[in-house]
């Protein structure tokens, strides 16, 4: 059982009534807890909690300015790993269920006894320890914000998942073991590879090479170099990229496309730290750290005969990073839009346009299969065509797969603007037919992404699932 008197136990009490805060502190001190922080303004709760390592939060529901449920939602969005225990006089089942759905760890109804309070705290601490162990096994670490701005300054994000990756990178930065970065195309794998290089503080260069288009000979020549006369046309010797990297980092992108023969050579490099330039009998020592990346399922490929070597996968994935796609960190989209619009305007030598709310909403509802690279493409095109200082949804709709709005200068007649219901269905539709049509259109517009379709329809995903089951 956990010892709640441990000096690392930090409790945050959030309540607008000072008497309640003092009562909670008294209970905690009676249990031996010494690190207690009181917050009587709910608007300051999240800021305070973010500064405290691994806290447990006791939160009142009925507070002015910002309700307890709003604070709970904000905590779970930014700090999902923090256990939150609700303390309230409200004993309604519906309220309790809603809080638990939002992510509350426990729900205590006042007046709260010492035994109940202590039991809830111990349980929260135990769950927190288990959660940390599981996350650490997955290569994820929660805690204070990153502090190495030089390493991560080029990455625009406020996602808790990305912050966890930054902390993991800082933890493994000094290791000279290989690292493997998995993620979809355009999700920022090379930026993370550069962050590993910068955070490591090594003196050598960061050298990137896309290995997907290299056959076995070209792969060996590119990485290892060759001696004079090694092959026809080799009139002189050439150093490979490994030698250029020196004590730095060699980044091998699209490693999942590497040929089987090249995989064997890379495995030898990782196992023995040596390589042979083409035409050489004597090996050279490699001092560079290998970081690889791919958008392919290497575990699945490793299970196939003639796919990807399992032993090479295990060597490469000594340190493993999985980059979440943009659709799983939508909180980053407004930040990225602002950054990319400014960057595009600077490249075109024009003032950055203001992005309309309609345009931002359109982007927030897009699934982005091409991730940040896709977003950048749309925004650079829109900024180039924007002429009035406001980047509207009309500059994005066509590229995002929707129909561009009709220009105001050429208004269509009511008949031409959209077909009537009878013309569309061949008869006057029932409400059920209209509902089925709207569901079909939403699924088509979202690429069959049910979460996005539900958002377009203004209903929950569960409600959409029920309608689909009926169909």
Domain boundaries, the chain: 10-137, 149-324, 328-395, 420-470
CB 183 within 8 A of CB 102: no
Distance of CA 385 to the CA centre of its chain: 30
CB 155 within 8 A of CB 190: no
Res 463: pLDDT? 73
Over 80: is that where the pLDDT of 148 sits? no
Which residue has tokens 């990073």? 321
Over 70: is that where the pLDDT of 158 sits? yes
Highest mean pLDDT among 123-127, 420-424, 459-463: 123-127
Give mean pLDDT, residues 303-327: 88
Distance of CA 228 to the CA centre of its chain: 47
Res 179: pLDDT? 95
Strand order from edge to edge, sheet including 55-60: 35-39, 10-14, 55-60, 84-88, 106-109
Give mean pLDDT, residues 169-177: 89
Over 90: is that where the pLDDT of 144 sits? no
Res 127: pLDDT? 77
Identical fold, 10-137 and 420-470? no
Give mean pLDDT, residues 310-317: 92
Res 8: pLDDT? 63
328-395 — its CATH code?
Answer: 1.10.8.60
10-137 — its CATH code?
Answer: 3.40.50.2300
Res 253: pLDDT? 95
Q: Which residues of 25-62 are buried (b: 16+ CB within 10 A; e: fewer)?
A: bebbeeeebeebbbbbebeebbebbeebebbbbbbbbe
Res 410: pLDDT? 40
Considering only residues 130 and 178, tell me which one the structure prediction assigns the higher pLDDT.
Answer: 178
Res 306: pLDDT? 63
Highest mean pLDDT among 69-83, 237-251, 444-458: 237-251
* pLDDT grade for 408, boundaries at 50, 70 and 90: very low
Fold of 149-324: Rossmann fold (3.40.50)
Over 60: is that where the pLDDT of 389 sits? yes
What's the pLDDT tens digit per position in 344-361? 999 999 999 999 988 998
pTM for the predicted model, two decimal places? 0.57
Res 447: pLDDT? 66
| CA atoms 254, 259, 260, 266: torsion sign | negative
Residues contacting 440, CB < 8 A, separation 6+: none
Considering only residues 224 and 304, tell me which one the structure prediction assigns the higher pLDDT.
Answer: 224
Angle between the N-to-C axes of helices 357-364 and 371-385, in degrees from 0 to 180, rounded to the nearest 10:
160
| 127-131, 160-164, 202-206: range with lowest mean pLDDT | 127-131
CATH classification number, 420-470, choose in 1.10.287, 1.10.1760, 1.10.10, 1.10.1200: 1.10.10
Res 292: pLDDT? 96
Percent of the chain scoring above 70 in pLDDT: 86
Give mean pLDDT, residues 94-102: 83
Res 243: pLDDT? 92
Over 50: is that where the pLDDT of 409 sits? no
């Amino acid at each position: 059982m956990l010892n709640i008197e441990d000096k690392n136990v930090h409790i945050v009490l959030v309540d607008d009534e000072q008497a309640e805060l003092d009562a909670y502190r008294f209970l905690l001190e009676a249990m031996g807890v010494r690190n207690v922080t009181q917050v009587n303004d709910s608007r300051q709760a999240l800021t305070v909690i973010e500064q405290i390592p691994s806290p447990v939060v006791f939160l009142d529901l009925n507070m002015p300015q910002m309700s307890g449920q709003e604070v709970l939602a904000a905590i779970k969005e930014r700090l999902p790993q923090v256990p939150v225990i609700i303390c309230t006089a409200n004993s309604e089942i519906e309220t309790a269920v809603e809080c638990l759905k939002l992510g509350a760890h426990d729900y205590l109804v006042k007046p709260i006894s010492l035994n109940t309070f202590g039991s809830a705290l111990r349980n929260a601490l135990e769950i927190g320890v288990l959660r940390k162990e599981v996350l650490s096994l997955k290569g994820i670490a929660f805690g204070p914000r990153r502090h190495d701005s030089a390493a991560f300054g080029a990455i625009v994000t406020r996602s808790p998942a990305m912050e966890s990756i930054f902390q993991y990178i800082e933890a493994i930065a000094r290791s000279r073991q290989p690292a493997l970065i998995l993620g979809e195309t355009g999700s920022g794998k090379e930026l993370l590879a550069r962050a590993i290089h910068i955070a490591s503080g090594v003196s050598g260069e960061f050298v990137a090479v896309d290995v997907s288009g290299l056959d076995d000979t070209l792969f060996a020549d590119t990485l290892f170099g060759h001696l004079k006369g090694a092959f026809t046309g080799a009139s002189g010797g050439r150093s490979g990229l490994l030698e250029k990297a020196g004590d730095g980092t060699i980044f091998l992108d699209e490693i999942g496309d590497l040929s089987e023969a090249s995989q064997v050579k890379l495995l030898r490099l990782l196992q023995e730290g040596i390589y042979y330039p083409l035409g050489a009998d004597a090996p050279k020592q490699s001092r560079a750290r290998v970081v690889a990346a791919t958008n392919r399922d290497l575990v699945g490929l490793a299970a196939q005969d003639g796919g990807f070597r399992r032993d090479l996968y295990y060597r490469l994935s000594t340190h493993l990073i999985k980059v979440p796609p943009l659709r799983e960190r939508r909180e980053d989209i407004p930040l990225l839009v602002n950054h990319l619009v400014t960057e595009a305007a600077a490249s075109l030598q024009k003032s950055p346009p203001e992005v309309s709310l309609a345009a931002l909403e359109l982007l927030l509802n897009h699934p982005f299969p091409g991730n940040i690279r896709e977003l950048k493409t749309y925004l650079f095109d829109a900024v180039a065509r924007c002429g009035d200082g406001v980047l509207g949804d009309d500059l994005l709709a066509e590229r995002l797969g929707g129909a561009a709005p009709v220009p105001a200068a050429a208004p269509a007649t009511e008949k031409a603007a959209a077909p009537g219901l009878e013309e569309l269905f061949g008869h006057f539709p029932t409400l059920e037919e209209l509902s089925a049509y709207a569901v079909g259109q939403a699924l088509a517009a979202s690429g069959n992404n049910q979460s996005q379709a539900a958002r377009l329809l203004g209903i929950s995903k569960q409600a959409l699932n029920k309608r689909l089951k009926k169909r």
